[in-house]
Amino acid sequence: MASLRLGDTAPDFTQQSSAGEIRFHDWLGSSWGVLFSHPADFTPVCTTELGLTAKLKDEFAKRNVKAIALSVDPLESHVKWIEDINTTQKTVVGFPILADADRKVAELYDLIHPNASTTATVRSLFVIDPNKKVRLIITYPASTGRNFDEILRVIDSLQLTDSHSVATPGNWKDGDDVVIVPSIQDPEVIKQKFPKGYTAVTPYLRLTPQPNK
């Protein structure tokens, strides 16, 4: 299968997990989703990442996001590894880890990259919206743990820009000023949509306070 691209429908699947059988689209329901793969169970970087994801449970819930992890290890391995994660990271893994020993999901999401490894999944992450569309894809090298603050930041940006006619500038964080999209030029429309006003740095760079704050 060709690589997924932004805007594609996230492939549906049915697969076993540490939380029972998952029918992916049904499991997502009307939530956003973060599906992330890790190269293998009982590996150091992945242990910290899954621990961090567990600790961010409330942050994900606040944004209506469900997290789900994946590797090509069998279910029994996941169950034992979760005990390690809970103990070493001082948390409780409350999200499912897909047991993808047959590589069904890994192949659907193009997670086996022969240049990196012919047997292990790469460290990829997908953000999927409630319409089941892929909105973010990040692939990290195996040696580098993911920055989950960045993932939450992008979800904040996606949810904001989906509901308001704005874009978020570089290094934007929730609460910072945003950019009025260039397609809006009518002064009356701008006044109606952005009652807090705006600063025109240039005709095309117009900053306004975050509309939903």
Catalytic residues: 46
Report the interhelical angle of 75-88 vs 44-55 (nearest 10°): 70
Closest Cα partner for 17 from 129, 93, 121? 93
Q: How many whole angstroms separate alpha carbon 93 and alpha carbon 79?
A: 10
Contact 152, 56 (CB under 8 A): yes
Q: How many whole angstroms separate alpha carbon 188 and alpha carbon 136?
A: 33
